């Protein structure tokens, strides 16, 4: 696991505690005005010590800031950074950088929708997924499905699109697949 993924895991682990999540939500609702530990304890009906501990831990992972006068504020950019770090760890992220026109088809490293059939984006998506599959021979359908499932829930739709765009070729029985055409060497 990379340092960025470990950091994201740490943020999520800290937020799994109900007191910390409640305190972060309270700070977030208060916006730039922030809140004191006492005000949050009253609002959340929690002991001051538990709110103080939650604020301390949130500050430690960069999700809260303090001004020195006892007022704390949420720092939600820390959540965005954690989400971005997790997204960068997704298996297709490295390849997707070279296909910026397909970014809208992905969410968090997974295909959220396949482009319309016969569109330029369908051809590009086929090329991207063919690169992702990294085929160097013939593979059973189960292996193609396993690889595609790392980036899409619509495995059958993605496999069909790869065949229709010519990036994937199947045998007459429809059980064995291989690369249908050579990928361009000027890797995007």
Pairwise pLDDT comparison (68 vs 159), residue with the higher score? 159
Share of the chain above pLDDT 90, in %: 68
Q: In this predicted structure, what is the pLDDT of residue 84? A: 80
Number of domains in the chain: 2
Task: Check if the beta carbon of residue 96 is closer than 8 Å to that of residue 45.
Answer: no
Question: Quick one: tokens of 50?
Answer: 């538990």
Alpha carbons 121 and 127: distance in angstroms, whole number: 10
Residue 184 within a domain: no
Pairwise pLDDT comparison (99 vs 1), residue with the higher score? 99
Could you tell me the CATH number of the domain that includes residue 151? Answer: 1.10.10
Q: 76-106: per-residue pLDDT in tens?
A: 988 888 888 777 778 898 898 899 999 999 9
Q: In this predicted structure, what is the pLDDT of residue 87? A: 78
Alpha carbons 143 and 147: distance in angstroms, whole number: 6
Domain residues for the domain of 143 are 90-179
Q: Judge whether residue 65 has pLDDT over 90.
A: yes
Q: Judge whether residue 144 has pLDDT over 90.
A: yes
Average pLDDT over residues 168-186: 89
Residue in the structure block whose two tokens are 């994201």? 8
Residue 142 within a domain: yes
Average pLDDT over residues 49-73: 92
Q: In this predicted structure, what is the pLDDT of residue 9? A: 81
Share of the chain above pLDDT 70, in %: 98
Whether residue 94 sits in one domain with residue 74? no
- What is the value of pTM for the model shown? 0.64
Alpha carbons 98 and 183: distance in angstroms, whole number: 14
Which of 81, 116, 133 delimits the end of a domain? 81
Whether residue 97 sits in one domain with residue 143? yes
Alpha carbons 161 and 122: distance in angstroms, whole number: 7
Query: How confident is the prediction for the chain on average, in pLDDT?
Result: 90
Q: 116-139: per-residue pLDDT in tens?
A: 888 889 999 999 999 999 999 999
Average pLDDT over residues 38-43: 96
Which of 63, 81, 99 delimits the end of a domain? 81
Task: Check if the beta carbon of residue 73 is closer than 8 Å to that of residue 32.
Answer: yes
Q: In this predicted structure, what is the pLDDT of residue 186? A: 64
Q: Judge whether residue 188 has pLDDT over 70.
A: no
């Amino acid at each position: 696991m990379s340092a960025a993924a470990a950091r994201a895991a740490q943020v999520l682990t800290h937020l799994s505690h109900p007191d910390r999540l409640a305190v972060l939500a309270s700070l977030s609702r208060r916006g730039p005005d922030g809140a004191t530990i006492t005000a949050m304890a009253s609002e959340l009906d929690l002991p001051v010590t538990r709110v103080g501990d939650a604020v301390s831990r949130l500050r430690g992972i960069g999700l809260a800031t303090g001004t020195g006068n006892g007022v704390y504020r949420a720092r939600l950019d820390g959540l965005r950074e954690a989400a971005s770090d997790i997204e960068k760890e997704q298996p297709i992220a490295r390849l997707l950088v070279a296909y910026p026109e397909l970014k809208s088809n992905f969410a968090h490293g997974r295909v959220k929708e396949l482009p319309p059939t016969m569109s330029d984006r369908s051809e590009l998506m086929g090329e991207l997924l063919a690169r992702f599959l990294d085929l160097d021979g013939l593979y059973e359908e189960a292996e193609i499905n396993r690889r595609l499932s790392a980036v899409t829930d619509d495995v059958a739709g993605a496999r069909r699109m790869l065949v229709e765009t010519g990036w994937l070729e199947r045998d007459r029985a429809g059980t064995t697949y291989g690369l249908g055409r050579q990928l361009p060497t000027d890797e995007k």
